[in-house]
Amino acid sequence: MQYSEMAAKMAGGNGFIAALDQSGGSTPKALKGYGIEEGAWSSEEEMFGLIHQMRARIIASPAFTGDKVIGAILFERTMDGEVAGVPTPQALIAKGVVPFIKVDKGLEDEANGVQLMKPMPTLDALLERSKALGVFGTKERSVINSANAEGIAAVVKQQFEIGSQVLSHGMMPIIEPEVNIKSETRAECDSLLLAEILKNLDALPEGTRVMLKLSLPIVPGTFDPLVSHPKVLRVVALSGGYKRTEACAELAKNKGIIASFSRALLEDLRSQMSDAEFDAALSEAIDEIFAGSTEKVGATTAA
């Protein structure tokens, strides 16, 4: 797939994006969920080797194809690895799956109710290397914990600055200002976030498009103005801690938004499974998330 083909698949493809991008801090938890306890490795290299085996098993599975999984977000080490002897981005492309890379280096401590992204001094070099490997775009995550207007404005400003840097390399940014679904001011967070994103979208040069990855809103339809915005290629949703069934039910209430799930995709997969069991469990998860992304039962529009 060329860049234009990938862009077309992202803009109009039926399906969802798999988030296979757990980084150093979240890797032990992801492995534990997969049935591998912390004592199973003695070094960081061994830990990352185990998580890569899990991701390679997912990507190589016959259940994982571009018919329902239109994109996949990779951790840097996963991007640099191989699946069945083929560089991971090329293994995805061969299955019709558009590759992205997580580029943020984690979160700053909370201030003004939010967590900004840590500095990324080597981002330009990473973008050049990723693009050379066939990667289409990036994902960068911040977190909003409470409805602080100043904090939310700072998060969105930083996100769009990084997004512009990504665009300058001819790549597609997925801008991810995650609202913590446990926030006591979640509905107000959604409203403040929407206003800030619209402001920053309007400031983008004409003809520029970005993608957005957002927490599922507390009021279905809140993000309709973003779904229909001419400068937004696609809006995707994170599961944010919801179990898969609940995440898919919430997703189905929001028209035009597709999934970009991580934990909700992986929750039933175990290292001890036979290949047949693993493929069946992955297929069931993919089918459920695909349905939530494409069958918008009861979708409403926010007032």
Catalytic residue list = 176, 213
CA-angle at 209, arms to 252 and 130, nearest 5° = 95
Q: Which residues pair with 72 in a beta bridge?
A: 18, 99
Chain-centre distance of CA 297, in angstroms? Answer: 23
Give the whole-angstrom CA distance, residue 200 versus residue 160: 7
Give the whole-angstrom CA distance, residue 180 versus residue 157: 18
Give the whole-angstrom CA distance, residue 165 versus residue 199: 18
Name 54's Cβ contacts closer than 8 Å, sequence gap at least 6.
30, 31, 34, 269, 271
C-alpha closest to that of 162 among 111, 110, 112, 102: 102
